[in-house]
Amino acid sequence: MSTWANLGLQDSDSPLMEQLIFFHDHALLILVMITVLVGYLMFMLFFNNYVNRFLLHGQLIEMIWTILPAIILLFIDLPSLRLLYLLDEINEPSVTLKSIGHQWYWSYEYSDFNNIEFDSYMIPTNELATDGFRLLDVDNRVVLPMNSQIRILVTAADVIHSWTVPALGVKVDGTPGRLNQTNFFINRPGLFYGQCSEICGANHSFMPIVIESVPVNYFIKWISSNNS
Ligand code: CUA
């Protein structure tokens, strides 16, 4: 999770988020190279005393500085497109989780398992345990198995919300009357925190998401204890 003074991306906990971080670094590298080159050229213009009174056109240089940026854009465009389609790919999910955004809490349904359903509210600061995370912990966590393909269906009951967990690279809008879908794969056990990221009203900041990633056999135990 993100802690104090962490201004960059969180460490990835899923293969797709790892790829997203690689792409971010790749794009940033290209951006820095362009900025340095253009910055250098603009800076050097101040010290240029040469004047060419007969310069009216330069077909060749115009050709080069039009085509070159287009080629550079391809180096950003193609990996970006690859990632976009990779994020959309559904790879035989073993669990489907349905999350519904409400003003202002999330509710969850495990439709595969006798339709377990529950609400997940933020724990108010005055009721928080001493080791709890303020504005981030919830009363009922989403329990999910690690090392499994998980499909998530997102919708909303009132206004638009967004189910967003940065460490997993998941960000899906929950829109009333629509059902959005993505999938993810959690690399390791642990707690993963997220927040709603569509401005959905007064308590938008107070409907966090907590995923409890556990080994598969533990997940099965959790499911059966909820079915009794
Ligand atoms: Cu729900 Cu912002």
Residue span(s) of the chain under CATH 1.10.287.90 come to: 15-88
Taking the centre of ligand 1 as the mean of its atom positions, its distance from the CA of residue 142, in whole angstroms, is 17
> What is the C-alpha separation between 88 and 92, in angstroms, rounded?
13
Residue span(s) of the chain under CATH 2.60.40.420 come to: 95-227
Instruction: Give the atom of ligand 1 at the shortest distance from the alpha carbon of 159.
Output: 1
Taking the centre of ligand 1 as the mean of its atom positions, its distance from the CA of residue 71, in whole angstroms, is 40
Task: Tell me the residue type at 191.
Answer: L
Looking at domain 95-227, its CATH architecture is Sandwich (2.60)
Taking the centre of ligand 1 as the mean of its atom positions, its distance from the CA of residue 223, in whole angstroms, is 28
Rg (CA), the chain: 24
Residues of the chain short of pLDDT 50, as ranges, are none
Q: What is the pLDDT of residue 115?
A: 85
> What is the C-alpha separation between 194 and 216, in angstroms, rounded?
22
Taking the centre of ligand 1 as the mean of its atom positions, its distance from the CA of residue 192, in whole angstroms, is 18
Reading the block at residue 179, the tokens are 């059902």
Residue 171's H or E segment, with its range, is: strand 170-174
Instruction: Give the atom of ligand 1 at the shortest distance from the alpha carbon of 205.
Output: 2
Q: What is the pLDDT of residue 160?
A: 97
At the topology level, CATH places domain 15-88 in Helix Hairpins (1.10.287)
- What does residue 203 show for φ and ψ, rounded to 5 degrees? -105, 30
DSSP 176: B
Instruction: Give the atom of ligand 1 at the shortest distance from the alpha carbon of 200.
Output: 2
Instruction: Give the atom of ligand 1 at the shortest distance from the alpha carbon of 204.
Output: 2
Instruction: Give the atom of ligand 1 at the shortest distance from the alpha carbon of 160.
Output: 1
What confidence tens digit (pLDDT) does each residue in 161-216 have? 999 999 999 999 999 999 999 999 999 999 999 999 999 999 999 999 999 999 99
Nearest to 86 by CA among 94, 74, 78: 78
Which residues does a 6 A CB cutoff place in the pocket of ligand 1? 101, 161, 196, 198-200, 204, 207
Instruction: Give the atom of ligand 1 at the shortest distance from the alpha carbon of 174.
Output: 1
Taking the centre of ligand 1 as the mean of its atom positions, its distance from the CA of residue 181, in whole angstroms, is 18
Residue 211's H or E segment, with its range, is: strand 209-214
> What is the C-alpha separation between 83 and 86, in angstroms, rounded?
5
For ligand 1, atom 1, the nearest C-alpha belongs to 161
SS3 assignment, position 138: strand
Q: What is the pLDDT of residue 40?
A: 97
Given a contact cutoff of 8 angstroms between Cβ atoms, the answer to whether 102 and 158 are in contact is yes
Task: Return the ∠ at Cα 110 (arms to 192 and 217), rounded to 5°.
Answer: 65
Q: What is the pLDDT of residue 96?
A: 95
Taking the centre of ligand 1 as the mean of its atom positions, its distance from the CA of residue 162, in whole angstroms, is 6
> What is the C-alpha separation between 144 and 17, in angstroms, rounded?
17
Taking the centre of ligand 1 as the mean of its atom positions, its distance from the CA of residue 34, in whole angstroms, is 37
Strand pairing report for 161-165 and 105-110: unpaired
Given a contact cutoff of 8 angstroms between Cβ atoms, the answer to whether 97 and 150 are in contact is yes
Task: Please enumerate in sequence order all residues whose Cβ is within 8 A of that of 211, keeping only pairs 6 or more positions apart, or say none.
Answer: 141, 142, 143, 144, 165, 168, 186, 191, 192, 193, 194
Taking the centre of ligand 1 as the mean of its atom positions, its distance from the CA of residue 117, in whole angstroms, is 20
